[in-house]
Amino acid sequence: MKGEKGPDEKPVEVKLPKVFGIRPGVYLSVIYALVVIALLFVLLLLPGIKNPGEKVTIDSLPPGAAVLLDGRYIGATPLTDFIKKGSHSLILKKKGYQFDEQELITGGRLFASLFIPKKSHHEIQYRVVDSDEVFADLFSQLSGYALIDTYRENYQAPPLITPVFSDMVKIGTLSTEDLYDMLYRLTPNISNETILHDFYHAFILLKKHDGIEFASEREGLSLLIQEAAEATGVDPGLLALSFGKEEKPEAIRLNYPDMNHAGGTILSDEPRPEPSSLNLGGIRFASVSGGSFMAGDPSTTGPTLPFDRAARTSLPIKASVSGFYMATREVTVGDYRAFLRDHPEWIPEKRDDLMASGVADEEYLSDWAAGGKFHDLPDDTPLSGVSWFAAQAFCQWLEDTLPASMRDSWEVRLPSETEWELAALRNGTPRAVFADTEAQVLPARFERQGKLGIADLEGNLWEWTANWYLPLDRIYQASGVALDLPKGWKGAERVVRGGSWANRSDLVSIYEKASQEPQWCTPFLGFRPIIAAKPTGQ
């Protein structure tokens, strides 16, 4: 049967031979022991011999400093990393702070370093060498997050304000009075509940440092609004409305008789600059008379709820503008070709260098180059695909061609928002190029010129302006306060006006305000320069 042994079957015995007269039981035990010893050596001793070092933790006050070890970036503080045994150069870098290079000497553990490495902790405190640079960097970061009115649950702005002020209090370089001053300079970017919460907690931190505490958040916010209004000159009612803490906007309107005038109302006129037109670099400039007017949407008579981005940007404000000259058309491909002949650093082939410098992106003049050669675009094609920085460089180049009689007192630059809007008001509303009319960018033509002879302020291409987009800039202007950023401070995006061929005409008007990062280049955005009197004392 299956499984039964036959009569001739015998069990098989396996015997290991002796080796050098040593019985198998002995030499197998020795082999097993050697394997265990080798394994222990590999795990417990070899790492400490082959790669000696220690696990180093580097903290800094404030955190977020770049760590360079022997000239190589290894991360940002707080940082934990394995560093080989020896003497190393340690440098920490952070804007506005200074840290002297120091020697970092690391040791190591021979036994079990793979499992129980030697550890050390280094906490390093900076010296503040340029507090203004610290706060300028904070303002710029905050401006990016301030572009959003409401955050989703899965995407929130990180706390930016409170950590900086907490670090500054600990370091103790600045007085509390100076810290309050810096805090209130951030006010133009307090555009949503998340940033307001961060702003408020930094305020509470400073008050606690002064030994002041509040019975309720309402009490603390009330004092914050009062002190911020006093520091900035902004009306406290408008500030409370912007912070979402005012529920009666009609009461605020009573404080502003100018708000009885609708946006788009000319309040006073100044004579037009003479002569009535100029020609510079092949571009005709039309004279635009100055004066005061109500900037903002005519359909809006004052602050409304919710006081969101749309309500803030359409808020009517009284603006005063001196006379200037504006290009009667957008800068064209032909104009820019002339600029590139004098400034080859801006040619499309230099795009990588421009991107590395942060003054353009990968779309810079993307319509111009194909296979390394220029497209044969007609000279009168309105120029698009240029950054704000490129537009600035063009204006500076054009300024060098001003007549000798104008060079001391006039400049060529991008228009401010209010200059652009006043020119559009005085020019009227001629036929425009939008998605529901032409749906493509077109050269300037006589039939699209307005009363001043200016074409395509509405439609065709969005146009760069000189202004940073700051969410609360209108409430500053409505309060009669000029919002001038300190030198070196900047926002995240520049204001663009006018709409483009890709927009529907019923969705964009001369009062519409949008924004773009200054290095961005798109097929929907161009620019036109103005010639304006230099500021007094310049």
pLDDT tens-place string over residues 233-265: 998 888 888 887 766 666 566 566 666 778 888
**443 within some domain:** yes
**106 within some domain:** yes
Are residues 392 and 276 located together in one domain of the fold? yes
Are residues 373 and 442 located together in one domain of the fold? yes
Are residues 158 and 215 located together in one domain of the fold? yes
- Domain harbouring 397, CATH code: 3.90.1580.10
Could you tell me what percent of the chain has a pLDDT over 90?
49
Please give the average per-residue pLDDT across 474-488, as a whole number: 86
Boundary-marking domain end, from 61, 92, 126? 126
Q: Work out the pLDDT band at 343, boundaries 50, 70, 90.
A: very high
Are residues 474 and 394 located together in one domain of the fold? yes
pLDDT at 227 over 90: yes
Backbone angles phi, psi at 224, to 5 degrees: -60, -45
CA distance 483 to 453: 32
Q: Where are the alpha helices (DSSP H) in 187-291?
A: 193-209, 217-232, 236-242, 249-253
Residue whose structure tokens are 């790492």 = 47
Give residues with Cβ within 8 angstroms of 509, minimum separation 6: 297, 458, 499
- Domain harbouring 83, CATH code: 2.60.40
| Strand 291-295 to 266-269 pairing | antiparallel
Q: So what's the pLDDT on residue 482?
A: 84
Are residues 122 and 135 located together in one domain of the fold? no
Q: So what's the pLDDT on residue 362?
A: 95
Are residues 222 and 368 located together in one domain of the fold? no
Q: So what's the pLDDT on residue 247?
A: 64
* Cβ proximity of 161 and 188 under 8 Å: no
Please give the average per-residue pLDDT across 490-504, as a whole number: 95
The CA–CA distances, whole Å, from 180 to 172, 216, 384, 484 equal 14, 21, 43, 18
pLDDT at 422 over 70: yes
pLDDT tens track for 260-280: 778 888 999 999 999 999 999
Are residues 206 and 270 located together in one domain of the fold? no
pLDDT tens track for 156-203: 778 999 999 998 898 888 899 999 999 999 999 998 888 999 999 999
pLDDT at 112 over 90: no
Range of the domain at 411: 266-533
Number of Cβ within a 10 Å radius of residue 41: 11
Please classify residue 403 by burial: count the beta carbons closer than 10 Å to its beta carbon, then call 0-12 exposed, 13-18 middle and 19+ buried. exposed
Q: Where are the beta strands (DSSP E) in 111-241?
A: 118-125, 127-128
pLDDT at 1 over 60: no
Are residues 345 and 211 located together in one domain of the fold? no
Are residues 207 and 61 located together in one domain of the fold? no
Backbone angles phi, psi at 55, to 5 degrees: -90, 115
Q: So what's the pLDDT on residue 186?
A: 96
Boundary-marking domain end, from 126, 146, 177? 126
Question: Of 82 and 532, which is predicted with more confidence?
Answer: 532
CA atoms within 13 A on the CB side of 12: 1
What predicted TM-score, i.e. pTM, was given to this entire model? 0.82
Three-class DSSP category at 283: strand
Mean predicted lDDT score pLDDT of the chain: 87
What total of structural domains would you count in the chain?
3
Are residues 327 and 350 located together in one domain of the fold? yes
Are residues 435 and 494 located together in one domain of the fold? yes
First to last CA, the chain: 115
CA distance 305 to 398: 45
pLDDT tens track for 314-326: 788 889 999 999 9
Could you tell me what percent of the chain has a pLDDT over 70?
91
Within the chain, how many helices (H) and strands (E) appear?
A: 15, 23
**8 within some domain:** no
